[in-house]
Amino acid sequence: MSHLDAFRAHLAELPLVAIIRGVTPADVEAVGAALLDAGFRIIEVPLNSPDAFASIERLATLAGDRATIGAGTVLAAADVRRVAAAGGRIVVAPNSDAQVIAATVAAGLVSAPGYFTPSEAFAAIAAGAHALKLFPAEAAGPAVVKAQLAVLPRDIPLIVVGGIRPDNMRPYLDAGATGFGLGSSLYRPGMTAVEVAAAARSFAAAVAGLR
């Protein structure tokens, strides 16, 4: 199974992406285990986290084929090779950089760039993006998602990121969003694995109840 096929299967299993910004290599396995046990199948370690590549490597080893592990906040094409070397399978960014997208596709990894406008979305798709990350969602409500999906290809997952809580997901799903990226509402540096597990179960139960 290709990384893209695995990503699609994992997103279908639970349409939530864990963004564990600030995690350290010392904590990543406990945090990752808590997320996996709660049903999360896509986890990204933003590259502005401490020693992020070491965390990605540990998390990828822990997860094996059970989950799609990768990097977030990938802003340079050169970092794509390091993500792949660490065992990462997905490259997520807050922006649409054609060079990063092309490098990701060339490496056989899943490309999920960030966008905000239809122009950015179509440019990302033209560069080879496999999924789109609408960011920041705080400034783009469900009406924006619905309007954009009238023109965007429906076979490309649209993942909404920014300010997502268990109680505000339904309008986005009703508008056609595929899934959600979860940051500080799911994980913040200093949280224990028990606290992460509780937050993860809350999100997983909420989205299961809406599907």
Q: How many CA atoms lie within 13 A of 2 on its CB side?
A: 9
**Cα 66 from Cα 163, distance rounded (Å):** 27
24 phi and psi, to 5 degrees? -110, 160
Residue 30 burial by Cβ neighbours in a 10 Å radius (0-12, 13-18, 19+): middle
Can you tell me whether residue 92 is helix, strand or coil?
A: strand
Q: In this structure, which CATH number among 3.90.650.10, 2.40.50.140, 3.30.420.40, 3.20.20.70 belongs to the domain 3-210?
A: 3.20.20.70
Extents of the domains making up the chain: 3-210
Give the pLDDT score at 210.
Answer: 86
CA dist 114 and 94 (Å) reads: 4
Point out the residues that are catalytic: 44, 133
Low-confidence residues in the chain, pLDDT < 50: none
**Which pLDDT value is given to residue 1?**
83
Q: Contact, 111 vs 129, CB < 8 A?
A: yes
Phi, psi of 123 (to 5 degrees): -65, -40
